[in-house]
Every structure is written in structure tokens, then in C-alpha cells.
Amino acid sequence: MNFEVGLNVLILFQIIIDLILIVAFWAIYRRLTFLDPKKIERLIKILKESQELTTRLQEEISATSKAKVKKTAPIDVYTEIKRLSSMGKSVEEIADRLGLTQTEVELALAKRPK
């Protein structure tokens, strides 16, 4: 008798699990069919456009920062190199701060006016 009760409980438990799985699969199916291919294509298009805009913005920022360095008059750069050097800054620190190579800073320091 106990064996039959235990078996009935297991069968009932299995039926409940099966019903839960059926409901879960149905919910997943509804979610997947809810995704419209046109909406997915539109999302991909928007993502590509935003990626292109980001790339252009990065290029413009880079070009602007390079233009600022080029607009600086050489005499101003030389004066700034001298000033930073007199403050005890190393060649590497001066180069990093001014966006120059270490060789450029070394040449500027070696070319002190007489």
C-alpha cells in the first residue's frame, strides 16, 4: 500500500513538473515569435549608424587635438619647455605634458639661446 502511495506522489510530481516545463516553453516561444525581423533589422541599422557616428566623433576629436598642438607657436613651445625645465621637470615629463617626443624636448633644451 505504501508503495502505491509513493508511486502516485511521484507521478503527480512528474505531471506538475511537465506542466511547468510546458508553460515555460510556451512563454519562450511567445517571446521568440514576438521579435519581428523588421524590428531586428531596424535595431541593427541603428547600431551601425551609432557606431559610424562614434567613429566620426573620435576622428574629429583627434583632429581637433592635433590642430591645437600645431597652432601653438614654436616660440611658445620653446618658452614652455624652458619654464618646465627650470621648474625641475624631467625631459619625459615635459614631453608628456606638451605632447612632444623626448627627442624634440632634448633638442629644444640643447638649442638654448646664447
Q: Each residue of 60-93: pLDDT tens digit?
A: 887 776 655 555 555 688 888 988 999 999 999 9
My answer on whether 77 and 65 are in the same domain is no
Beta strands in the chain (DSSP E): none
Residues in CB range of 14: below 8 A, 6 or more apart: none
How far is it, in rounded angstroms, from Cα 114 to Cα 110? 11
14 with 45, same domain: the answer is no
Tell me if the pTM is above 0.85: no
Domain that holds residue 47: 36-70
26 and 46: one domain?
no
> 109 and 80, same structural domain?
yes
Are 22 and 3 members of one domain?
yes
- CA pair distance 77, 71, nearest whole angstrom: 10
